[in-house]
Structures are given as C-alpha cells and as structure tokens.
Structure 1
Amino acid sequence: MAFSRIVFEVSLLVSLIANFTVEGADTETYCMDPANPGDSTTLTCTITGKINGGIRWIRPIASNPRTEVAKCDTRNTFCLYPGNITGYKAVAVSPTRNSLTIDSFNPVIDAGEWTCQDGMVGLVRRKCNKTVTAGPHDVALASPEYVTEGDNLTLNCTARCNPSPCSFSWTFENNTVSSGALLSLTNISNTQYGNVYTCTVNNTAIPNSTTIQFTLTIKHGAEHVVVLRDSSATWGVVIVIAGLLVLAFPTIWVVYKKAIKKKVGDGQNEFNRVRISRRQLL
C-alpha cells in the first residue's frame, strides 16, 4: 500500500510539472438531482481528450476553504483522498468518465458548485450546482375579498419546491375538488357562503406538504340592493301618509261631527213638519 501511494504521489508530481507545458483534458460536471440531507448522492464527470494531470474533485466554496476531496491518477484507474478527507468515494468508471459519491449529503459543505478538472490547467467546460431538496416555500393564494352572487371565480395556488415542480390539490369538506393548482367555481350562489376550500402543496421528493385555505365570502347582487332600497322607500311613503293622517285626524273628526249633527237636525225638522201636517188634517 505504501509503495502504491509513493507511485501515486510521484505520478501526481510528474503531472503537475507537465501541467505547465501540456494542456489537460476537457471536463463537464453533472450534479444529477437535488439531495436530501443525510442521503447518499452521486456526481459524474465526463472527460474529453487525454488526461494529463489526473481528475480532481473540488468541493464548493461554501465549504470554506474550497477543497479537493479526491484525486485520481492520469490513467483514471484509481483515486485517493488528500488530507485524509472522509465521506467521499471517487470511482474511475472509464477513461472518459469518473464519478464521486457523497456518503452523507451535508448541505452546509456539500451544497453549491462542484467541479471536476484534469489537473490544474484542464479546461472545465461545465460546473454544476448541487442543491438540497426543500419546500414547499412561499405558499400563496391570490384571492378577492368577496365575490358577487352569480359570479365565476378561479383561484391559483402557488409555491416553490426543490426539485420543482410542486404538486397541488384542492379539497372541500375532505373531498377533492381539483387535482391541480387551479380551482374554478362557477355561478356562485348564496348557499356557498362561508365554504372553506383547502389547497395542499406537496414536495414528493422529500416528502413534505403544507396547506393554505380560502373562505368564500359573497356579496348580494345589485338587483337585491335595488329591492331593498325600493322596500325602504315604500315604508317611508307609508310612514309619511300615516303621519299626515294623524295630523289631519282632528279636522276630519270635527267635520264628521258637524255632518252628523246636521243630519240629525234635518231629520228632526222633517219629523216636526210631518207632525204639524197631521194635526192640520185632524
């Protein structure tokens, strides 16, 4: 083992000297999918051209300092780990491909930009950003304060998930009413007043979910307002007429009494006239 390490170090030294005079291979780094904290995850490196310095795997700057976690020989057949770094395993898959497995993904040091490079001068054509699964975040619902009876309404539930997209569903009284981010309500009636609709946002990669609710508030249509106003006006007229009748009642009563008195007087006069005529006949 000691001999092979000496050979490896000599090979790296030779490759470093060669780096000043020889161009390295071109490399592209792929981070694959976002990783869950604590899970194992793998990155890949594709190699184009002749390897002259040996493939190096470089951890993100966020790890402070930016650190080589693995070095492979120029023939891309075996890899070692400088500084006794643990938790990573580099594999020379083929002359044109290398991979790095992170045993337990730690977002603090492993999330960010990763690079595989041939030696110190190899051309890096592509780096990759290793992200952590997260969300749903920024769950929101744009909704009106109220709707008018008879209206149509479309609600849009939004959120951010990594990896994207989030999945959405709408429920009412534990029954699914929509299997997407949009909920459409048509010809809204007063019987729906106070209905509570729940949007559930799910990140299936973790999994993790959260909810947001909308309570339907309905304002009566204009025709209802008109009816109420007409009714109020009618009652107002009734009240005014009643008031006028109250004010006019004494006068009406006086006139009525005079008319009755006059009628009684006329009757009495007629009775006296008839009685006088009878006496004259006798």
Structure 2
Amino acid sequence: MANIPHIELNDGRLIPQLGYGVFKVPAEETERAVSEALEVGYRHIDTAAIYGNERGVGAAIAASGIARDELFITTKLWNDRHDGDQPDAAVSESLDKLGLDAVDLYLVHWPTPAKDNFVHAWEKMIGIRDRGLARSIGVSNHLVEHLEKIVAATDVVPAVNQIELHPAYQQRDITAWAQSHGTVIESWGPLGQGKYDLFDAAPVVAAAEATGKSPAQVVLRWHLQKGYVVFPKSVRRARLEENIDLFDVELTAEQMAAIDAMDPGDGSGRVGAHPTELN
C-alpha cells in the first residue's frame, strides 16, 4: 500500500494529501468504486450532498472493515442550504447517508455571492464543528474577497479551500492568500477534466519521458509537490492504481517550473463554473 503523506491543517488535524473523489460517479456505481479505492489503498474520500452518492460512500465504508480513525471523509454543504438552520439539517442528512457520527471535513460548497448568505453559512459551520459533527471545516470555490469577508466576521480561518486548480489555471491569488493564512489548498479538476490537451503539453510530455511516469501521474505529482491535496476521480481499478503510484519519483525544480509556466495568467484556462456566477 502506498505511504500517502499527510498535511497538518491549521486546527492541528492531519489530512491525507491524496484521496479519491466521487464527483460524477453514478450513485449505483459508488459503493463498488469506493470499495475498490479503499482496497487499492486510498483512505481519504471526497463527496458532497449534491453528488447524490453519499449513501454509496457510506455503504463502502461500512463494508470495508477499516477502522474509522484510519479514514478521512469529506462532504459539502450545498448552495440552497445556507440560510437559517438549514446547514444544521443538511449536515445531519449527510451524516445519516454516510452512516457516520461525524465527518473529518465539512465544506461550504460555493459562496453563492448573489445571495449574500455565505457569512451566515460559515457561522453555522463553526457551530457544526463545535458540536463535533465535523472535525474540521473549510470552504470550496471561495475567492479572496469571500475568504476575507468570512474571516473578518468570525476570526475563524478555513482549514481548507477546495478550488479548481490545474496547470492551465493555477489561481495564484487564492493560493498566496491560503499560504499566508495557513489554509490548505485542495485541487479539484486536477487534470483539467479532459477539457484541454494537458497530456500533450510539452512540459508534461518531457517530464513523463524523463521519469517513466504517465502524463497524468506527472501532473498529479506536480500538485503534490506544490503542497496541494488532490483527489483524482476514476471508476476503473487500473486508473485508481496508477493515480496512487506517485511516491517513487520527484519532479525536478526545472520540471516543476515548466509546468508552472503553463498558466497564461489571464484566467482563460478555467474549465469549470466561476464562483461569482454559480448561485
């Protein structure tokens, strides 16, 4: 089994740096896919209420026989549950589906700035953490302006910000803010979701040839060496095994810099929704 490194969060807890994400894994395939991921050696599973597959994740956990303290489970609060006591109801529903007393990490999925209720959602997240329903709390898809607003209102800095991040879209303003505030970055869409020719890019091809790794492994290794948490998604066991086989090689400073330079810096590399537009 791969010896996956852990990163210390700003609340003192540890998070496995490599995990398995179930975004777009169909509900009927989730138990099998997560079970295979656990068999391969993954111990960090990332799901969300909106994915519709929390029950499958919970079933795989229950069937695995793996001790709860060996697992790191993340889920997320969806956009229509920010108001009033809805966050409390939402986390209870997620825990019921997962079959857990608490998740290791609970995230506000999107800031939904047009509704202007993300500060309230964050305040409720703090209460959820304080009641022991989530061991750590964080956000997803929050821009610097959103992060500064929730911290100013509560003095609580998110442990994690999960954002779209891949070589063509590196969001350096957010990663710089995170580094200065002790927030860990998690990369979603770490391979660009297949929406551009990442694996044919010269820096990626050159690093793959030099290391004997696949282009996908090179890019995932780049994320790890940047200090990000990453959880590629696949429903194929062979790919699950490939995606975890990242710890016997290290990219050189030159290889890292070449991949760093793939971001044009104008935001054109984004492949997912913009946080100001998804409400």
**TM-score scaled by length of structure 1:** 0.22
More strand by share: 1
Larger Rg: 1
Higher relative contact order (CA 8 A, sep 6+): 2
The structure with more helix, counted as a fraction of residues: 2
TM-score (norm 2): 0.23
